[in-house]
Structure 1
Amino acid sequence: MSERLSRLDQLSRASNLEIQCVPESNSENVIKLVEQLGRTVKSAHGCVIPYSHPLSNTNQTHNQKKLQSCDLGIGGKTSCPIYVVENLSPENKELHAAARKRGKELGYKFVWIRGGKIFMRKDESANYTFVKNTDTLTRLT
């Protein structure tokens, strides 16, 4: 039952994104920030991004131009990286953190999220592993 509730919780977040590491501002306007993010991402890719595009991988995929606070018109003199990620349920956030930690311990090159699900891959030639729960992580080698 708890697994089903967890899946429903994640499903209810399917159309939500988190924008992380945005510098605080007294004049912050979330609507304008999201609009600017949309314009910035659209121009960086040259097209409208479909829902299934891995926005959570924007900084890794496009190494030549990482998303920065200056791209969104904020940050003043110094700019900092901005991350756009899928909104995960508390359980999945915890599992994702554990997967990143375990992946680092075992030398995994890739840990990512797609559609609220967590995946890992040792290297480019390896098959991916779907991380369903912590048992999956303990079985990894």
Structure 2
Amino acid sequence: MDLIRNSIEFHSAQCEDLNKKVNLFSDDIKNIVTLESKLIAIQNENRQLKQLINSNDQRERLLNLEIVGIPETANEHPTNIVINLAKLANVDIIPANIIFVNRITPKNKQHGRPRILIARLSSRLLKDNIISGARKLRLTTKDLGVSGEVKPVYVNDNLTPQNKLLLKKCKETAKIKEFQYVWTKHGKVYIRKNDTSPLIQILDEEDMKRKIA
């Protein structure tokens, strides 16, 4: 009987110890779940803050026109380049419509490529009309009277670095997922599956992964 009693007491103590460990383990799981919830909330807040900062940065560029592919010359007149470009796009502007125009070195500069031209115009309508008209023409350096090898000239919205990267990734993903259209308008990135499907705005890379399926 003593042996049985001792065995019962031993196993009872083990069960009690096991229960304590289970309770501690349960508390640890609750703490982990709480921490995971907090982490998700922080990640969502961080994502929203990044979107807000990027949106504000893009809003500052709404009047900006980005011209890529025009070779640099020692005595060039950037204002005249913009006016000539607008004329080709069938848009009438005068020097007063150009707030400033400068050469900018891109973040990822490629050897042999000229710096891009950034022109800020007096209205978004002028900028949009120039972009629209220029894209229909498939402009080259020859069209703008630039001598030498004929190269394409691209006229776009002046996107933030984040939106440029997003546009690049959207184009790559859209090609794989067979989306026909990827474009930007007013600094925002859009995609469209085909001619009959609705347009979809893409806010960031996470948004792209959800919407391009």
The question of a shared fold, defined as TM-score above 0.5 by the shorter chain, is answered with yes
SS at match of 1:124: coil
Other-structure match for 1:73: 145
Contact 1:56–1:85 (Cα < 8 Å) also in 2: no
* Deviating 4+ runs (over 4 angstroms): none
Other-structure match for 1:84: 155
Contact 2:90–2:133 (Cα < 8 Å) also in 1: no
With normalisation by structure 2, the TM-score equals 0.56
Other-structure match for 2:90: 42
Matched, 1:15 2:63: yes
Gaps of 5+ in 1: none
Q: Which has the higher helix share?
A: 2
- Mapped partners of 1:130, 1:87: distance in 2: 18
Q: CA deviation at 1:136?
A: 2.1
Q: Give the number of aligned pairs.
A: 133
Change (3 A) 1:9 1:97: same
Larger gyration radius, structure 1 or structure 2: 2
Contact 1:56–1:113 (Cα < 8 Å) also in 2: no
Other-structure match for 2:131: 55
SS at match of 2:73: coil
Letter in 1 for 2:58: Q
- Mapped partners of 2:133, 2:183: distance in 1: 8
With normalisation by structure 1, the TM-score equals 0.82
Change (3 A) 1:125 1:54: farther
- Mapped partners of 2:69, 2:149: distance in 1: 13
Other-structure match for 2:36: none
Gaps of 5+ in 2: 1-48, 94-123
